[in-house]
């Protein structure tokens, strides 16, 4: 029986050897077929990894550039709302409300009162038409804005509604005054200034004048704040895009024109309670950053 089982790699066994023959492995290791198979597997694995990485970066790039385009659109719409409010205040609201307040003080300061001109400051003002529906879609549905920008956008949309309702109401009261359709016992100045007469007081017109100035300032402040928030959002997106993908990124910036008179934009102090609620809490990772692990 001696020599029945030859040593394999210098090892004798009592039965047929289960140890691999290293020469056979060496022969197979240099086989072109095996090299091709292993190389193909490695190539396929690397290719799949590379393709996945490219797809991931492409998806991330698309997400950020889409957000940038949406931010640029929202900026255009917010600036349009701001410019409409600014133009309204300069051309109509500010001169009318200041003249009205002066005339009312003068009337009240006169001992016996004096009859005012029945055409004084009875200029009608058409409601404004900023693209609030488009602004709502752009800011609240298409973008991932933080709390301050969202609250500012909501305030702009709500204030446009209040301002236009006030302008419409004032126009109706102007018609009432012009056509002398006054409540019985009241003269023009009683209804125009909201002065009490025989225990009765009609303050509709004076309230409309006050609210017209108030809501115009509100729209200016909230649209101004929204533009600032969108500007910050766009700058952050541009920095992120440049860091990840290089190249030039175009964003719309917000800059207040030099010819806007000081005091035309309401002081933030008047809105300190509203601003105090703009607490964003702890900073969380942006949705578009989750694509970058």
Task: Check: CB of residue 237 under 8 Å from CB of residue 71.
Answer: yes
- pLDDT tens-digit readout, 19-36: 455 555 555 555 565 555
Span 236-256, average pLDDT: 84
* Top-confidence residue, 171 or 53: 171
Task: Check: CB of residue 194 under 8 Å from CB of residue 100.
Answer: no
Query: Mean pLDDT over all residues of the chain?
Result: 80
Alpha-carbon distances, residue 171 vs 25, 98, 194, 256, 264 (angstroms): 98, 18, 16, 31, 24
The verdict on pTM exceeding 0.85 is no
Q: What is the pLDDT of residue 44?
A: 52
- pLDDT tens-digit readout, 204-225: 999 999 999 999 999 999 999 9
| Percentage of the residues of the chain whose pLDDT score is greater than 90 | 44
Q: What is the pLDDT of residue 81?
A: 97
What phi-psi label fits residue 198: left (phi over 0), alpha (psi between -120 and 50 degrees) or beta?
Answer: left
Model confidence band, residue 38 (pLDDT cutoffs 50, 70, 90): low
């Amino acid at each position: 029986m001696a020599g029945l089982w030859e040593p394999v790699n210098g090892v004798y066994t009592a039965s047929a050897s289960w140890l691999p023959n290293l020469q056979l492995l060496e022969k197979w290791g240099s086989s072109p077929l095996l090299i091709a198979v292993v190389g193909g597997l490695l190539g396929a694995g690397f290719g799949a990894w590379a393709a996945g990485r490219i797809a991931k970066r492409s998806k991330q790039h698309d997400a950020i550039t889409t957000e940038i385009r949406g931010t640029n659109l929202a900026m255009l719409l917010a600036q349009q709302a701001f410019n409409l409010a600014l133009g309204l205040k300069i051309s109509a609201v500010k001169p009318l409300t200041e003249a009205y307040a002066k005339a009312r003080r003068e009337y009240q300061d006169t001992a016996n009162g004096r009859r005012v001109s029945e055409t004084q400051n009875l200029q009608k003002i058409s409601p404004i038409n900023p693209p609030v529906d488009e602004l709502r879609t752009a800011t609240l549905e298409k973008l991932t804005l933080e709390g301050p920008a969202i609250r500012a956008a909501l305030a702009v949309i709500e204030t446009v509604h209040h301002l236009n309702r006030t302008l419409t109401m004032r126009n109706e009261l102007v018609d009432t005054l012009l056509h002398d359709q006054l409540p019985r016992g009241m003269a023009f100045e009683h209804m125009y200034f909201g002065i009490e007469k025989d225990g009765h007081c009609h303050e509709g017109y004076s309230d409309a004048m006050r609210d017209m100035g108030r809501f115009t300032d509100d729209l200016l402040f909230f649209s101004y704040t929204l533009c600032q928030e969108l500007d910050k959002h766009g700058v952050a997106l541009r920095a992120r895009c440049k860091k990840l993908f290089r190249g030039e990124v175009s964003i719309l910036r917000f800059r207040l024109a030099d010819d806007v008179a000081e005091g035309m934009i309401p002081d933030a102090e008047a809105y300190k309670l509203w601003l105090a609620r703009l607490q964003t809490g702890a900073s969380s990772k942006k949705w578009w950053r989750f694509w970058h692990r």
